[in-house]
Amino acid sequence: MSGKGAGLLQSVERAMRVLDHLAASPDPVPARDVARSLGLTLPTTYHLLTTLVTGGYLVHLEEQRAYALGHRVDDLARGLHRQIAAPPEVQRVAAVVHREAQAAAYYATLRDAEMVVAHVAECPVHPRIHPLAVGFHRVPHATAFGKLMLAKLPDADREALLDHAGTPPVTPGTVTDRSLLRRQLRQVRGTGLAVEVDEFQAGLSCMAAPVSDAAGRFVGAVAISMPTARLRNDRWTAERAVRLGAVRATRAVALSIAARAGG
């Protein structure tokens, strides 16, 4: 057992670190580089790599004498997409928001203290922000739906999350000061709307409104993204589309849950 905490298997924790390291690399990585970067002995690194290759999570490229991600990682990604997929009713709401706001529209769902993008409605004229694809969940302090989640969390949970994840600058406009972020989140709670301007990507802004289940619990968000200049010029149209979309998505979530319970 690892000394870092009860219930942690050290070998599994190390294997996950190896996967994360290879996933972050643009190229296959030699075993010696993995060992050096992660502070592992070479024999331990080879044991981990061999185990992951056997399971299909990595491949050994013999000619390059290096390792890369295997097909099982893609299987896991597809499984995640199936599990977090928005109900068809919610997908239809996102399509309406996309059309009414003339902007890329997103449905993000609350999943274990993370806001995860579950669906994107876009078109060539109004494409999503890269990398806001299905499964995206990072930097909540810099995204509108992330700010919405932070505003809804109990104070202690929010501070613990920020202590763990930090508030790194994603762009020069990202709010990284915790005091300023807290003031921003108080405003989100007061207005029921989260807005970020140039915080996730320069020249682009996002807006999000909360979605609740039948018991009134926060379960997700409807959001849009568009060029900052357009958001400033069409603020009312955009806000109306997002707020109405959140109301419709709240109804759709309730209908989806009721349908599953009745089926």
Q: How confident is the model at residue 221 (pLDDT cuts 50, 70, 90)?
A: very high
Which whole number is the average pLDDT over 85-108? 94
**Of all helices (H) and strands (E), which one includes residue 176?**
none
Q: Could you tell me what percent of the chain has a pLDDT over 90?
A: 78
Q: Report the pLDDT value the prediction gives residue 148, as an integer from 0 to 100.
A: 96
pTM of this prediction? 0.80
What is the tens place of the pLDDT at every residue in 155-213?
Answer: 999 999 999 999 999 999 999 999 999 999 999 999 999 999 999 999 999 999 999 99
Ranges assigned E (strand) in the chain: 58-61, 66-69, 104-110, 115-121, 194-201, 204-212, 218-227
What domains appear along the chain, each with residue ranges and CATH number?
10-75 (1.10.10.10), 85-262 (3.30.450.40)
Confidence check: pLDDT of 91 > 60: yes
- In this structure, are strands 194-201 and 58-61 parallel, antiparallel, or unpaired? unpaired
- Closest among 125, 130, 122 to 105, alpha carbons compared: 122
DSSP per-residue codes, 70-83? -HHHHHHHHHHHHH
In this prediction, residue 258 carries a pLDDT of 64
pLDDT band, residue 215 (cuts 50/70/90): confident
- What are residue 238's DSSP bridge partners? none
pLDDT-derived band at 259 (thresholds 50, 70, 90) equals: low
Contact by Cβ (8 Å): 165, 157 = no
Handedness of CA 239, 241, 247, 249 (dihedral sign): negative
Q: How far apart are CA 253 and CA 259, in angstroms?
A: 10
Query: In this structure, are residues 91 and 119 in contact, taking their beta carbons and an 8 Å threshold?
Result: yes
With b for 16 or more beta-carbon neighbours within 10 A and e for fewer, the 48-85 pattern comes to: bbeebeeeebbbbeeeeebbbbbeebeeeeeeeeeebe
Assess whether pLDDT exceeds 80 at residue 262.
Answer: no
The tokens for 91 are 């997908």
Rounded CA-CA distance 249/263 in Å is 21
pLDDT in tens, 29-57: 999 999 999 999 999 999 999 999 999 99
- Interval 105-147: pLDDT, tens: 999 999 888 899 999 999 999 999 988 888 888 999 999 999 9
Flag whether pLDDT at 250 surpasses 80: yes
User: Is pLDDT above 60 for 4?
Assistant: no
Average confidence score pLDDT of the chain: 91
Q: How many CB atoms lie within 10 A of CB 139?
A: 17
Which of 87 and 247 is assigned the larger pLDDT?
247
Average pLDDT over residues 248-260: 82
